[in-house]
Amino acid sequence: MPVPLKIAIVVALCLILGSACAAAVYVDSGASGKVHNGTSWATAYQTITQALDSLPDGGDIWVKTGVYHECLTMKPYTNLYGGFLGFETSTDQRYPGAFPTVISGWKMGRVIDIPVNGRAYIDGFTIRDGKSDKGAGIHCSTNSITTIINCRIENCEATGGGGGVFFDTYTQGQLNNCVIACNKAPQGGGLVVEYHSYPTMHNDVIINNYATSVGGGVYCPFHSGAWLENCTIAYNTADTSGGGIYAYYGGPETFIKCIIAFNSAPMGGGIYGGGGSTQATLSGCDWFSNVGGNMGGAITSLPAEAGNVFVDPMFLMPGCDEFHLSTSSQCGGIGAYPIDSAYAVDRIGVAKLLPDSNSVKLSNKIVSCVDGDITYVQEADRSTAIPVRGLTGCSTGKIITSLTGTLSTSRQTRTLTAASFTLSSATIYKPKPLGTRLQWLRSLTGVRTLTWGKVDSVSPTGFTLRDGDYTLDVRLANPGVGVGNYISVVGSCVLDGSFVGESVSSLNR
């Protein structure tokens, strides 16, 4: 085990154990009542900023699922937990992947700033829409020690470096089970690990990030000590060099059992060594189909007998944000998600096709409604639901923690018949349709579904539903709906992302 990892683990344990005796401060953006002092879910603060202001030196903050438009500066010692439903008495009761707590910077500033010498633990958040000079999603300042786990950092933009995450000089910490996606910066679109910084990263997916100069996914400048193990670095782009990774005077960064695939740059699509000889350790990784070459610059070949391979990793459904590996992949044990593994991050919207191509495994879904022998299950933040037969004891708002079933063979009325399922004792009393996003259903094209929203526009061939910032094009001739109507529609998603409707019903709002 590398020394930086040992230090990071000790620090993380100290943060967790040190907070075990301290009372948590609660945050719920929808908390009702006149008293908001953060001492319980019933009297929760309505913003994370209020909670931070109540803790001069830091402490534990529990944040209920929802969207929080804030830019945060952490206190010296802060443990920030997301993914709560508002009834929990322990962090072990959360489902942060299924019921996300979203912190959006609204492109008004950096989303989370860890102060100099700060100690922070961040678990269970989607961190998005940040904009700053560096570290627009999360900035770990000099000499800070930060643990980031079970988070998704996306759609952030830095004018300098580290669109998603920036580990500044002399920092330590962990970045585990995270997705860093669709961020942008001149250097290190996804993340930057600065001079003499030694964070360890395990089971992270770094995808679809963009650098206008170097290091589309990861940028490691002079004497960077980044340690990445079992990570997937894919579909990142840089305009100059290092589509996946840019290592300047490489060293002593380490990449072990990582998948570096489908990245792109004019030079060194996979990894580029800048500035001269490199000390980078590249062992047991898969290098495949990187445009501009797997290697470039000072890195011209991989170490002999280091166990590197050059095969298609065979991601299940990369277009649907699904980077598990097919059971036919030759990359077992490499990358963030081993073959047929449990989900390292129970990410929103994952529906896993099992090897027989007819069975499906779902996790952490909500019962949307029960209609006779059909139970509709949905994502917490998505206004679409899959019909399932064979579920018993369900009622609206119940959480199904796992469900395995078989799809019917009829493409016209394709439903899922449950073979086994597990119900949680918890209940969401009112599932909230927060978006008509159907990305998670595109892996199950042709499944008959129910979705709803407000009619935004109408044409002779169909109409558009809008729910907040999200829209869905529905193909249905002569639907008999008008702009402004709230409706539900039954149909199925097709390959181009649109929705073919069968019937519509009016909703009472």
Domain extent listing, the chain? 3-24+104-323, 351-427, 439-506
User: 5 pLDDT band (50/70/90 cuts)?
Assistant: very low
Q: What is the pLDDT of residues 104-126, one digit of tens each?
A: 999 999 999 999 999 999 999 99
- The region, left, alpha or beta by phi > 0 then psi within -120 to 50, assigned to residue 442 is alpha
Rounded distance between C-alpha atoms, residue 363 and residue 342, angstroms: 10
Number of C-beta neighbours around residue 169 at 10 A: 14
SS3 assignment, position 14: helix
| Token pair in block for residue 98 | 């299924």
Tell me what the pLDDT averaged over the chain comes to. 82
User: 356 pLDDT band (50/70/90 cuts)?
Assistant: low
SS3 assignment, position 240: coil
User: 489 pLDDT band (50/70/90 cuts)?
Assistant: confident
For the residues 129-133, what does the mean pLDDT come to?
Answer: 97
The more confidently predicted of residues 344 and 283 is 283
Residue 57 has pLDDT above 50, yes or no: yes
**Angle at Cα 335 formed by Cα 229 and Cα 84, nearest 5°?**
85
The more confidently predicted of residues 283 and 252 is 283
Amino acid, res. 446? G
Closest CA to 181 of 235, 103, 253, 238: 235
For the residues 286-305, what does the mean pLDDT come to?
Answer: 88
Residue 19 has pLDDT above 80, yes or no: no
State the first-to-last Cα distance of the chain, in angstroms, to the nearest integer. 57
Question: The domain 439-506 is classified under which CATH number: 3.30.70.100, 3.90.1170.30, 2.40.50.140, 3.40.50.300?
Answer: 2.40.50.140
Identify the pLDDT of residue 347. 35
Identify the pLDDT of residue 438. 42
Rounded distance between C-alpha atoms, residue 164 and residue 236, angstroms: 13
Residue 229 has pLDDT above 90, yes or no: yes
The more confidently predicted of residues 166 and 397 is 166
For the residues 231-236, what does the mean pLDDT come to?
Answer: 96
Asked if the peptide bond before residue 252 counts as cis, ω within 30 degrees of 0, the response is: yes
Adjacency order of strands within the sheet including 157-161: 131-134, 157-161, 184-187, 210-214, 237-238
Query: Which of 151-160, 171-180, 357-366 is predicted least confidently?
Result: 357-366
For the residues 411-437, what does the mean pLDDT come to?
Answer: 65
Amino acid, res. 74? M
Adjacency order of strands within the sheet including 286-288: 66-69, 101-104, 125-128, 152-154, 179-181, 205-207, 232-234, 259-261, 286-288
Helix, strand, coil abundance in the chain, percent, nearest 5: 5, 45, 50
**Angle at Cα 46 formed by Cα 43 and Cα 52, nearest 5°?**
95
Identify the pLDDT of residue 395. 85
List phi, psi (to 5°) of 52. -65, -40
Q: Does the domain at residues 351-427 carry the CATH identifier 2.40.160.40?
A: no
Question: Do the domains at 351-427 and 439-506 have one common CATH topology?
Answer: yes
User: 358 pLDDT band (50/70/90 cuts)?
Assistant: low
User: 369 pLDDT band (50/70/90 cuts)?
Assistant: confident
Residue 15 has pLDDT above 70, yes or no: no
Identify the pLDDT of residue 414. 52
